[in-house]
Each structure stands twice: as C-alpha cells, then as structure tokens.
Chains A and B, each alone.
Chain A
Amino acid sequence: MRGVHYRYPRADRNALQDVSLIVEPGQFYAVLGPNGSGKTTLVRIVLGGLRPQIGSAMIGDRPADQWSRQDLARLVGVVPQREDNLFPQRVRETVLLGRYPHLSLWGRERAEDHAAVDRALRACDVEHLADRWLWTLSGGEYQRVRVARALAQEPKLLVLDEPGMSLDLKHEMGLFELVRGLVETNGLGVLMITHDLNLAARFADSLLLLESGRAVAAGAPADVLTQQAVETVFSWPVTMQTIDGRPQMIPLRQPKESRA
C-alpha cells in the first residue's frame, strides 16, 4: 500500500496519514505501535475492508477493495485477534473451514482439500490434536490451530493480528518460530500486528512503527527500533541492547515524581 490516508466518517483527524508498506513473498513484516496508533485501520485497509481516501492499497495487481471475498481468501489468510465459536468444533473440522474459498457451491471436499488440511496441521505441529475439541486446547495450541486454518487456505500472504497476546513464553516463542519457519520454507509473505517490540525485532525482516496514524520509522529492525524512536512513541524511558544482531528494548524504572 502506498501513501495511504484514511479518516473515519465524523472523525476529526486522519486515522492513517501517508503510510506506505509493501510485503513481498518470503518476507516477514511487523507493524508496531501503541494502542490507537492505527494498526487495526491499517489491517482493514490492507484487506480491502476500508477504501483509503488518498493513496492506494493493492493486492497483486488489483485494488484491495475490489477483490471478491472468495478470491481474496485464496490469496490472503487472516488470523484475527478475536473470534468465538458458537458451536463446539473439533480441530480438523475448523481447519477444514479454511478450504471454503476453494470449494464450489455444491461440491464436496475433494482429496486435495483433505491433503491441504493435513499439510497445514503438520506445518503447525498440531497433527496430534486433530480429533480434539477446540475448547480442550491450551491458548498456545489454539493459536497454532488458527494459523493452520489460515494455512489451509493456501494463501500467499498471512495476516496475523496480535497472535501472541496472552500466551506464555514458550508458546509465544513457539508461535513466532512457526511463523518464521513458514516464511522461510513456504515463501509466505507475513504481515503481523504486534505489541511485542522485542519479538518483532528478533523475527521480522522489516518493521513499521506507527504513532497517531503516522509512520515514525520503517525498515530493518536495527534502523527502526532506536532508543529515541521507542521513547518518543511509547513515552517511556528505555535502554537498548543487541542480541543476534537485532535491537532489543529494555524498559527502565522511572522515579515516581517524574511520571506523566
């Protein structure tokens, strides 16, 4: 997407102000920023749910909002932040739902659909859970199953909205390793919204740092996550270290009297 401006109806400022980003196949792109900085708006525009007033959002060679839902779902898999299940479901059933965009109106699932489900289950290391009920899974297992469902769509681009929220260390790291692996082995493009600056810096190829709808910095992790940028955007003092050649942020304590 290029030079995108977006303002919600009846809002008094732009939710996004001249933001550009390009996600290529085989690239892991992470969008960072405090609450209300425009991350969700950005995802909606990328997925064609909102049409930018200025600038353009393209998927392939077509504007994002001109794809039919079904065609788009063959190209882009999404793991939304929240969803609920009205009726109890087993893992394999829910992953099979990912095949919907590939099915004809009356046709049944074909062998290739079940094969795609198996591949997705294996890629996310949840094969052994295939016959479990969703509500018996741990938070980390559930997130992997949701990634598997998006993979069953056989997309070129995977969009994840805060996938690590409320996961413990092992499961959060596991999820990021999984996504990184998919980028490297399947050549998948990934666009991830996340709060976790450190994990994004460790795993992503490119970062975009948003503040109040503006792109503060974009590019390689080492160029984006500077002490100054982080402190400005998040209004908190930090110190930076480097691990594996990637910047890592450590928040500092702040004396009581100087707090805002």
Chain B
Amino acid sequence: MKWTLLVIVAVLALVTSVILGPAAVPLGELLHSDIVWNLRVPRALLAFLVGGSLGVAGASLQALVRNPLADPFLLGLSGGAGLGAVVAIALHLSGPWALPLAAFAGALAALGLVYRLGLIGGTGGALDPRILLLGGVAIGAFAAAITTAIVSLADAAELRNAFLWLWGGLSGASWDSVLLVVLYIPIPLAVLLAASRPLDLLALGEESAGYLGADVEAVKRRVYLAASLLTAAAVAVSGVIGFVGLVVPHLARLTWGHRHRVLLPAAFLGGGALLAFADTLARTAVAPRELPVGVVTALIGVPVFALLLRRWTIA
C-alpha cells in the first residue's frame, strides 16, 4: 500500500513535469512535440535521477556519520563543486560540459580532502565519522570563501550565472546528460544498497556493529565514497540542490522505518518524485522566467522539516 502510493506519486510527478511547462503544448500533440521530447522528458528524467541520488546519499550518510542532520552537501561537496563551477564561469570555459566537469572536479577535490582529514582523525587508519562531518563543514566554508572572493571580482553577468548555478538548476538537461547519469549512478547505488544491513548495525555504534559481524572500517569507507560520488555527479549536472537529501530520508524513515534495505529504495523514489515536482514548479511558477530549483526545494523543504522537528519533539 505504502509502496503503491509512492510509485503513483513518483509517476504522477514525472507525468506532470512532462505535461506542464512555460510553452503551451496541447495534450493531443504531447507525443509529437519537439519541446516535450528534447526538453521536458530528459529534464524530468534528470530531475528524478538526481533527486533519487540525493535521497539515497542523504539516507546513507545520516547512518554513516550517526547524525540525523547530515545532508549530502554538509560534507563539503557543495563548496568544492561551487568553487569548480565559479572558476569555470570566471575563466569563460565554453562547451556544454565545461561547467559540469569543473563542478565535478571541484566536488572530487573536496571529497578527497575531507576523506583525508577523516583518516587523520581516526587512529590506526580508521575513518572517524565525526571528523568527516567537521572536516566537511570546514572545507565547505573554505571553498565558499574562495568562491565568494572570485565572484566579488567578476562582472555582473558572470555573477548572475554563478549565483544561479549555486542555487541549482536543471536547464542544462539533455538526453546526453540523462544517459551519462543512467550509466554512472547504478554502481554507487548498488554499493550503498549492498551496505544496507551493515548500515542498520552502525546505528548501534561502531563497537556493537563490529561484534554483530560488520566489517566496520570497510563499510564506512565504501559508504562515504559511494554516497559522495553520487552527490558529486548530482551536483555536476544540476548544481547545489539542498534539502532533498535531508528531508526525504526523514520522511522515508517516518514511513518505512530504519531498515536500509527498504529505506534506500523508498528514499530514491521519494527524492526523485520531490525533485521532479519541484522542478516543474521552478519552470512554471514565474514563467517565462525560471526559479533556481534549489530555491523551490528549500521553500518546500524547510516547512516540512519544521513539521518533522515538531513531531520529533512530541514523540
């Protein structure tokens, strides 16, 4: 029942996202329209895949760092990706892939630095999730500072581009980018799904997880790398989209409980549906202009989150 409902919501979000748009396409011509096939369908699919990836990455990272407030972007990736993108904009790198590649490179650099910090914090080559969290916040702040420095020296048009990118957007969606994401995400997704039982155990603490048979160090590394690579790809094709990775896992936990074998697929569908829906709003709310989709997810996400907090404090 819960699953049926979720699948219906997901399909509905995709369908609405294809039907609605700034250009009026009559329903009868939907299947023959270039706008639909070359713009809306790939964009809806990309939104869904990115949202799903953020949902799964968020759910896994919350279990890994043992902090329910963890968000895929809290671990410094958004800062790194933003810096990469802004550098690409400031250098006037051209070509459709310049910006995504620069953002991806920036995210990977941040990932590497944070991971390295996490290893320093732990003893004997162990990865310390608390240091990951602190290191992520620090690296993110550092990258944001450099980003702001570059942006403050840029001219107005560049500034606007950079600013919009930092709030996320899917206007660059194409069949190429969809294909790329479809080829890329199955591996990290499979790694995370395979780690779902050890993630259940990690909720008891690393010591107990080890006694129950989990190879804790291997699991922590695998989950951190897979979730981060997933987030890096998402940020490369769509910019920084906040709150999906924070709110969706919590909604899924409330409904499906804390077993990751069930939670992760639910977070994928939920995140996909939310982002497809948010992107439809972003495209149509102020048409013909477009809102950054990160603005929409925050506008939806924050009230939902406030409600969740209330429910928590009552329970």
Contact = CB atoms under 8 A, between A and B. Distances in A.
A80 interface: yes
Contact of A86 (B68, B213, B257): B68
Contacts of A76: 211
A258 to B, nearest CB: 41
25 contacts: A49-B210, A69-B215, A73-B211, A73-B213, A80-B207, A80-B211, A83-B204, A83-B205, A83-B207, A84-B204, A85-B203, A86-B68, A87-B258, A89-B258, A93-B258, A93-B259, A97-B201, A97-B204, A100-B198, A100-B201, A100-B212, A100-B214, A105-B194, A149-B212, A153-B212
Interface of B: 63, 66, 68, 194, 197-198, 200-201, 203-205, 207-208, 210-216, 253, 257-259
Contact of B215 (A68, A78, A89, A93): A68
A260 B212 CA distance: 44
Nearest to B203: A86
Contacts of B68: 86-87
A30 to B, nearest CB: 19
Interface of A: 47, 49, 68-70, 72-74, 76-78, 80, 82-89, 93-94, 97-98, 100-101, 103, 105-106, 149, 153
A154 to B, nearest CB: 12
Contacts of B201: 97, 100
A69 B210 contact: yes
> Which of B211, B215, B216 has most A Cβ within 10 Å?
B211
Nearest to A150: B211
Given A80-B207, A100-B201, A106-B194, A86 B212 contact: no
Contacts of B208: 78, 80, 83
Contacts of B210: 49, 69
A101 B258 CA distance: 19
Nearest to A70: B213
A78 B203 contact: no
B207 A70 contact: no
B23 to A, nearest CB: 45
B197 A103 contact: yes
A100 B205 contact: no
A77 B258 CA distance: 23
A105 B198 CA distance: 10
A124 B63 CA distance: 29
Contact of A101 (B63, B212, B259): B212
5 residue pairs, one from A and one from B, having the closest CB atoms: A73-B213, A101-B213, A78-B211, A87-B258, A86-B203
Given A93-B258, A100-B198, A153-B213, 12 more contacts: A49-B210, A69-B210, A70-B213, A72-B213, A73-B212, A80-B207, A86-B203, A93-B259, A94-B204, A100-B213, A149-B212, A153-B212
